[in-house]
Amino acid sequence: MKSLQNKIFLFFVLLLLMVQAIALWTLYSGNQNQEAAEINNRLTTAKTIFTELFHRRLDYLAAFAETAAKDYGLKEVFNDDTRSLLVALNNHRKRIDADLVMAISAEGLITGQLQRNFINNERSKINQGLERGTQFRFIDWLDSGQSSHLYIIDESLYQLSLSPVTVGTKTLGWIAFGFQIDERLAIEFMNITNLKTDFIIKSGTEWRLVASSSENAKSTEELALSETVIQGIIPEKYIATHSLITEFDEQELGVVMYGLRANFVALLQEQWWRFLILAALTLFVSLTSAYLIAASISRPIKRLVAQAKVIASGDYQQTITLHDNNEIGQLADEFNHMQAAVLQREEAITHYGNHDPLTDLPNRNALNKLLKSRTEQEKPFIILHLNLSRLKDVNDTLGHDVGDEVIKELASRLHSLYQKKGIEELLHLGADEFVLLANSIDTHINIDETVAQIQAVLEPVFDYQGISLQLQVRIGVAISPEHSRAPKVLLQMADTALHHTRDTGKLVQVYQSDLDVNTVERLNLINDLKKAIPAGELELHFQPKMNLKNRVVTHVEALVRWKHPTLGMIPPDDFIHIAEQTGQIKALTRWVFTTSLAQFNTWKTLGIELNIAINISAENLKEADFYDFICQALMCANVPAAKVTLEVTESSVVEDPKSAIKLLSQFKERGFKISIDDYGTGYSSLAQLKQLPVHELKIDKSFVQRLEQDIDDQIIVRSTIELAHNMGLYVVAEGIEDKFSLSWLTDHGCELAQGYYISKPKPAIELTPWLLAQLNIEETKDIM
Amino acid sequence: MNNITYLLLFFFILLSTKAYSLTDCNNADINNTCIQVMVKNKTGELLKDVVVYLEPLDGQILAKQSEKVIISQVDKSFAPYISVSQVNSDVSFANKDNITHHIYSVGGDNNFSFKVRAGETNSSPTFGHTAEVAMGCNIHDWMSGYLLVVNTPYFDKTDEQGVARFNITEKGSYNVIVWHPQMQSENNRIQKKVIVSASAVISFQLNNQMADIPLQENDEDFDFLSDY
């Protein structure tokens, strides 16, 4: 019911029905009015006609009576014998075909009377009247001026006119003529007016039917009907009018004219039927057209709706054609325009989605698609990830506008290589990052050639508004399928290689697996590390440091090991770095600290008392509450500070020497032992070393491991030991792996030694028996 | 009636009084008895042109009146309107108009009908009995006249003073009758019995209002034939 088509159709239907109803009602009421008016008209006319006819007859009679009364011939015989008088009367009567003629003497005696009597409907005969010789009943008529009257003789009713017969002024008598009011008149009247006519007369109190135009009518019924009409009550099925002719002598003649309503309205009814049929027909036709109109409106709309759906689904290619020239056709045109516009915009958006706004080169999205297709096609290719050097400097000093110009210049220069010499694709990943895809017939030659081309193209100085800028790029290279078949991984590798150039200062770096620091694994590790401490995945291993003089283990170094549930044992080199970079070193160090102190106490109960060395990172030194925590932990564990060594690397001090020194001094003040770890490998200065409040110096294992083979190492180690001693420090050598190193270091005065040769780092559980064994040997030595 | 008619009437009365002494009461004859009859209408006004006549009751022998009665048709009307004559007297109808009249009377014993041309006189009707003769003209419906035929020479019409005078020679009882067609009394008359012995004045007063004396005029007043 909600559809537009149905709505329009219904609306039309309702409208049409309403219009038709109004029209019909108007017609009907008009019809009714017309009917009533017609009937009224008819009746009024009939009444008027009757009145006229009636009075004309009377006037006629009166005029004739007057004329006849003046006739000398009549005057001569008026008082004569009956026969002459009757003949004279009849002569006059014939002239107007009167139904009654009378001669009345001056005394009021009816001297002559002639009446028409009907034998049957057609034939009549003139006979002497019944009243001849009798006194005229209405003497007062004779004296009055009025000459016209209604006169009854037995059952017959006459219109009568009197006129005096005079000699000069002397009245001889009267002469009267009459027309009968009977069926003839009624029928004559009916023929004129087409209404049935009844004459009824009332002399006294009751009405009597005198004549009726209806043949074979039951007089009682006619009389009854006429009486009611006279009283003004007209039965529904009739139309009627009446007229009363009153006599001053209290006779009343009533004329009733009536007809069946149905007869009169029959014609109008017929008309009415015709109207109805016409109305029905027009209604039908208009409804059909309404339906068609509704359909014709909604059909193109439906098509447009369908088209809209097609567009919504993303198909911009199909256009819609409507052959209407009207608004809907316009709408369809606009639809198509819109569609084209949408398509255009979509293409633009797609373009912008796949191209960099600044250089209009394909961007990262395009790159992903390209790589995907190439790897799917299994075509070998080379990715060169280019980074524009020092762009940040340009932006900062000359502004971003200039920076953008530089980028655009680089793009255009690289574009000159596009499609040449094996460079198949040029992409701009944004800002200072570009990617070239080259084919790889001969990988390494290609790389070198390509790089040379790039260098060549970038060599000319870029002159921008008087400023000379040199374009320089660093390139990270990855090869498919050699390095990987997966696009993402390839990109990652190129990226890693690029990063490596930053570290090494080289301009080109081809990916090697050992560059891989940033693996996904690494990211996972970061997350896992957060959970590792509470999960108990971390384990503290201890590596003993042996006193070379008496071959007694006096120190241990606490080393954290991570037992990853899936990856297994992860060496600290990997995750310490991560921990430092992700701010988890704090938690880590604290855990190490508390665990170590607990272990100290455990060993103490067993009679083992060792100094535990704990590694501290640069991050730890930056912590505000680090000192407080350490001391707190110490006090809680009730461990003397002298039994704890804090190992810091040279490089960790470098960042902020002043505060590092200050903190370390605090620790030293407190009684902790401070150790410089990995001495010789990091950034260091002797000036710094001089300032650091250290007790111990640890020579990195790289110098110790090949002590037997490497003379240079021996020189370095020996010098370092001497230097340390001169500065008042004692030395720990790391990485002793053979007996030679052990004895050589002992010979050269190294105080402590740490290495696999002595013991691997082991968990406390494992180390404790070894330690106990060592002590026993000592004890036995002492005993012995 | 126009002035000329009145004038003519006056002359005739003068003539008739000169010739006829029966109604002349100026004669101071000792044998004459002057009876004056005065007629008043219901409201007391004196009426003129009312017929008065005396009928002998005691068998008096009366001389016959010898004057001729002339009823004229003047200006399409009877002049005089009322005429009186004794039985068997000559009555003439004189047509003073320039057109023909058809005079008739019906409805009594004295029916007559004749045409009299312009300027001519017709004396054909005879009146042998006392009668009220109503006359009309068949051509001119409005014409109306009366002739009272009486059986006594003593008849007259009241004059302007409403008086009729009689010089009675035969003494005795008489019936004094006052008659007018418009009198509205029975038989159009009222009467009194009187014994005539000496001169007397007899008054009559009508009981009813008199009917209008008809104007003898054509109410249509057609004039398309001016010489008709």
B107 and A75: CB-CB below 8 Å?
A: yes
How high is the pLDDT of residue B18?
A: 47
- Nearest 10 degrees: Cα torsion B113, B118, B119, B123: -10
Quote the mean pLDDT of chain B: 82
In a domain, A228, yes or no: no
Whether residue A492 is found in the same domain as residue A396: yes
- The share of chain A scoring above pLDDT 70, in percent, equals 94
pLDDT in tens, A603-628: 988 888 889 999 988 888 888 888 89
The structural domain count of chain A equals 2
Mean pLDDT of A69-80: 87
Between B22 and A105, the more confident residue is A105
As a whole number, mean pLDDT of residues B161-178 equals 86
Provide the CB-side half-sphere exposure for B161 (13 A, CA).
7
> Which of A70, A78, A169 is opposite residue B107, by nearest beta carbon?
A78
Which has more pLDDT, A335 or A93?
Answer: A93
Task: Test B136 with A168 for CB contact under 8 angstroms.
Answer: yes
Q: Which residues of B touch A170 (CB under 8 A)?
A: 107, 134, 144, 146, 181
Does the pTM surpass 0.80? The reply is: no
Ordered DSSP codes for A652-705 = HHHSSHHHHHHHHHHHHHHT-EEEEEEETTSS--HHHHHHS--SEEEE-HHHHT
Q: What is the rounded average pLDDT of the residues A415-436?
A: 83
Least confidently predicted of A348-352, A475-479, A513-517: A513-517
Query: Where a domain ends, among A518, A551, A566?
Result: A518
Instruction: Look up the CATH number of the domain holding residue A511.
Output: 3.30.70.270
Q: pLDDT tier at A4 (50, 70, 90 boundaries)?
A: confident
Q: How confident is the model at residue A564 (pLDDT cuts 50, 70, 90)?
A: confident
Closest CA to A545 of A682, A683, A680, A701: A701
Q: Which of A70, A72, A172 sits opposite B107 (nearest CB)?
A: A172
pLDDT of residue A98: 92
We report the CATH number of the domain holding residue A587 as 3.20.20.450
Q: Which of A45-59, A139-153, A460-474, A770-784 has the highest mean pLDDT?
A: A45-59
Entry field: residues in chain A: 784
Q: d(Cα B133, Cα A527) in Å, to the nearest integer?
A: 169
Q: Which of A518, A550, A585 lies at the terminal end of a domain, its last residue?
A: A518
Mean pLDDT of A107-125: 85
Global ipTM? 0.73
Evaluate whether A732 touches A696 at the Cβ level (below 8 Å).
yes
Same structural domain for residues A627 and A766? yes
Specify the pLDDT at position A558: 92
Please tell me the distance from the alpha carbon of residue B153 to that of residue B179, in angstroms, as a whole number.
Answer: 15
Q: What is the pLDDT of residue A198?
A: 87
Q: Quick one: average pLDDT of A489-513? A: 80
Q: Which H/E stretch holds residue A221?
A: helix A219-230
A493 occurs within a structural domain: yes
Q: Is the same domain home to A669 and A771?
A: yes
Query: What is residue A453's predicted lDDT score, i.e. its pLDDT?
Result: 82
Dihedral sign of CA atoms A27, A29, A31, A37 in order = negative
According to the 3-state scheme, what is the secondary structure of A105-164? ECCCEEEEEEEEEECCCCCEEEEECCCCCCECCCHHHHHCCCCEEEEEECCEEEEEEEEE
Amino acid B13: pLDDT: 66
Pairing assessment for the beta strands A100-105 and A170-180 based on DSSP bridges: antiparallel
Which strand (E) or helix (H) includes residue A463?
strand A462-464
Q: Please give the share of chain B, as a percent, with pLDDT higher than 70.
A: 85
Q: How confident is the model at residue B103, as a pLDDT?
A: 92
- Would you say residue A11 has pLDDT above 90? no
Is A168 within 8 Å of B138 when comparing Cβ atoms?
A: no
Contact between B120 and B98 (Cβ < 8 Å): no
Interchain CB distance below 8 Å, B106 and A168:
no
Residue of A nearest to B214 (CA): A169
Residues A622 and A751 occupy one common structural domain: yes
> Same domain, yes or no, for A585 and A690?
yes
How much is the average pLDDT of A633-650? Answer: 89
Shared-domain flag, residues A570 and A628: yes
DSSP A290-316: HHHHHHHHHHHHHHHHHHHHHHHTT--
Residue A570 lies in a domain: yes
Determine which of B106, B109, B142, B143 to mutate to test the interface with A (most A C-beta atoms within 10 Å): B106
Q: Mind telling me how many Å the CA of B113 is from chain A's nearest CA?
A: 9
A656 in the same domain as A581:
yes
3-state helix/strand/coil string of A347-358: HHHHHHHHECCC
In the predicted model, what is the mean pLDDT of residues A541-553? 90
Bridge partners of residue A118, in order along the sequence: A124
How far is A80 from chain B, CA to nearest CA, in Å?
A: 8
Q: pLDDT of A647-669, one tens digit each?
A: 988 777 777 778 888 888 899 99
B94 vs B124: CA distance, rounded Å: 12
Sign of CA dihedral B187, B188, B192, B194: negative
Among A179-183, A326-330, A510-514, the minimum mean pLDDT is found in A510-514
pLDDT one-digit tens code per residue, A384-409: 888 888 888 888 888 888 888 888 88
pLDDT at A177 over 90: yes
Within 8 A of A167 by CB-CB distance, chain B residues are: 104-107, 134-136, 144
Write out the residue range of the structural domain in which residue A718 sits.
Answer: 539-783
Average pLDDT over residues A407-431: 83
Q: Within this chain, do residues A777 and A632 fall inside the same structural domain, yes or no?
A: yes
Average pLDDT of chain A is 83
* Structure confidence at residue B94 (pLDDT): 92
- Residue A774 located in a structural domain: yes
A489, part of any domain: yes
* Beta carbons of B144 and A168 less than 8 Å apart: yes
Kindly report, residue by residue over B113-139, the tens digit of the pLDDT: 999 999 899 888 888 888 899 999 888
Residue A582 predicted with pLDDT over 80: no
Domain identity same for A511 and A553: no
Q: What is the pLDDT of residues A229-276, one digit of tens each?
A: 888 788 888 888 888 877 656 678 888 888 888 777 776 677 778 878
Is residue A553 predicted with pLDDT exceeding 70?
yes
> How many whole angstroms separate alpha carbon A338 and alpha carbon A350?
17
Q: Which of A70, A169, A172 comes nearest B106 by C-beta?
A: A172
Cβ atoms < 10 Å from Cβ of A239: 25
The answer to whether residue A289 scores a pLDDT higher than 90 is no
Residue B58 in this model has a pLDDT that exceeds 50: yes
pLDDT of residue A100: 92
On whether residue A398 sits in a domain, the answer given is yes
Q: How far is A159 from chain B (nearest CA, A)?
A: 27
Q: Which pLDDT belongs to residue A146?
A: 67
Residue A37 pLDDT class (50, 70, 90 cuts): confident
Confidence class for position B23, pLDDT limits 50, 70, 90: low
pLDDT of residue A784: 47
The predicted pLDDT at position B178 comes to 92
Q: Are residues A431 and A552 in the same domain?
A: no
Q: Which of A645, A682, A683 is nearest to A664 (CA)?
A: A645
- Secondary element (H or E) of residue A733: strand A730-734
A568: left (phi over 0), alpha (psi -120 to 50) or beta: left
Which comes out higher in pLDDT, residue A703 or A571?
A703
* Range from A89-103, B10-24, B63-77 carrying the lowest mean pLDDT: B10-24
Q: How far apart are CA B54 and CA A103, in angstroms?
A: 37
Answer yes or no: is pLDDT of A101 > 90: yes
**Residue count of chain B:** 228
For residues A490-497, give the mean pLDDT. 85
Collapsing DSSP to helix, strand or coil, A71 comes out as coil
The average pLDDT across A7-23 equals: 84
Are A478 and A574 members of one domain? no
A712-766: pLDDT as tens digits: 989 999 998 998 898 888 999 998 998 899 999 999 999 999 999 888 888 888 8
User: Would you say residue A547 lies in a domain?
Assistant: yes
**Secondary structure letter of residue A551 according to DSSP:** T
Q: What pLDDT is attached to residue B20?
A: 44
Residue at A209 is within a domain:
no
Q: Are residues A584 and A501 in the same domain?
A: no
Taken in order A228, A234, A238, A244, is the CA torsion positive or negative?
Answer: positive
